[in-house]
Amino acid sequence: MRETTVIRLKEDIRLENTTLLVGLPGVGHVGKLVVDHLIEKLDAEKVFEIYSPHFPPQVMVNEESTVKLVNNEIYVCKANGNDIVLLAGDHQSTSTEGHYELGTIYIDIAEELGVKRIFTLGGFPTGQLTHTDEVMGASNDLEMVTELKEYEVTFKPNEPGGGIVGASGLLLGLSMFKNIKAACLMGLTSGYLVDPKSAQALLALLSKILGIEVDVSELEERAKEMEKIVANLVEAKQQEQQQQQPEMLRDTATDEDLRYIG
């Protein structure tokens, strides 16, 4: 395993009118939560495993205490008459050069599988713990921007200001060389915590776009647990402030602006 290794689990993969959904770990794990959820609920079939020296030298431990070498995986499924390809994984590349190598591999596979449209899914950090269902977008194709605006995706000129970094951004860039249109959909999220509520909002949007229905009860459950954790954090923060204020006279942070958690 000195080189990136693509293991093909199924020879004959026939797809039509195909959409690729990319959900790798990132801000709030929003994209990963959505794609992992879809793989389970749509009963998707694993067709590729990708191992690489650009992933951390690490195994994950599962429920049975057995291990799995960190990798990325590609799944396929059919939903509402359309073929969906899903890219999921434990990690993104640890190096800049590895990002380009893996991204090129993924776009080559997408092209081979006849992918016509890519959605890379992620989170957009707001620095605020208050939730909103808003999803922000950017695309490598102006028509796609227009189409997505009809689904109430927010587009702002030059935003995100720092560009889109990592696989979600890079795949938008690399797919241009293959004339595949692609958009990044980012659920708004605090940026401090894993955010199943933002994932739920992103999944709802995606379901509309793809015309599919997906059971979201598990994400809802996780979102409720997370809300309790956030409520506790907010309370703890407020108590800390009340104790510090008489001594410190620092600028007060409200429960909407908890920048220093996490």
Give contact residues for a second copy (rule: CB under 8 A): 1-2, 53-70, 90, 93-97, 99-101, 103-104, 137-142, 145, 155-161, 163-167, 169-170, 172-174, 176-177, 184, 243, 249
Kindly give the pairing relationship between strand 5-8 and strand 45-51.
Answer: antiparallel
CB-based contacts of 217, cutoff 8 Å, min separation 6:
none
- Minimum distance from CB of 173 to a second copy (Å)? 3
- The structure tokens 């954090």 sit at 233
For residue 221, what are the CA distances in angstroms to 55, 213, 230?
31, 18, 14
Query: CA 41, CA 44: separation in Å to the nearest integer?
Result: 8
Nearer to a second copy, 80 or 239 (CB): 239
- Minimum distance from CB of 113 to a second copy (Å)? 19
Q: Residues 182, 141: contact at Cβ < 8 Å?
A: yes
Query: CA 49, CA 68: separation in Å to the nearest integer?
Result: 12
Nearer to a second copy, 137 or 196 (CB): 137
- Minimum distance from CB of 169 to a second copy (Å)? 4
- Minimum distance from CB of 9 to a second copy (Å)? 14
Task: Measure the CA angle with vertex 121, ends 27 and 147; round to 5°.
Answer: 135
Nearer to a second copy, 83 or 119 (CB): 119
Nearer to a second copy, 18 or 120 (CB): 120
Report the half-sphere exposure of 246 (CA within 13 A, side-chain side).
3
- Minimum distance from CB of 236 to a second copy (Å)? 12
Q: Residues 226, 195: contact at Cβ < 8 Å?
A: yes
Q: In 10 A of CB 49, how many CB atoms?
A: 17
25: closest CA among 75, 94, 78? 94
- Minimum distance from CB of 114 to a second copy (Å)? 21
Query: CA 170, CA 47: separation in Å to the nearest integer?
Result: 23
Nearer to a second copy, 104 or 207 (CB): 104
Nearer to a second copy, 7 or 215 (CB): 7
Nearer to a second copy, 55 or 76 (CB): 55
- Minimum distance from CB of 105 to a second copy (Å)? 9
Query: What is the rounded radius of gyration, in angstroms, for the C-alpha atoms of the chain?
Result: 20
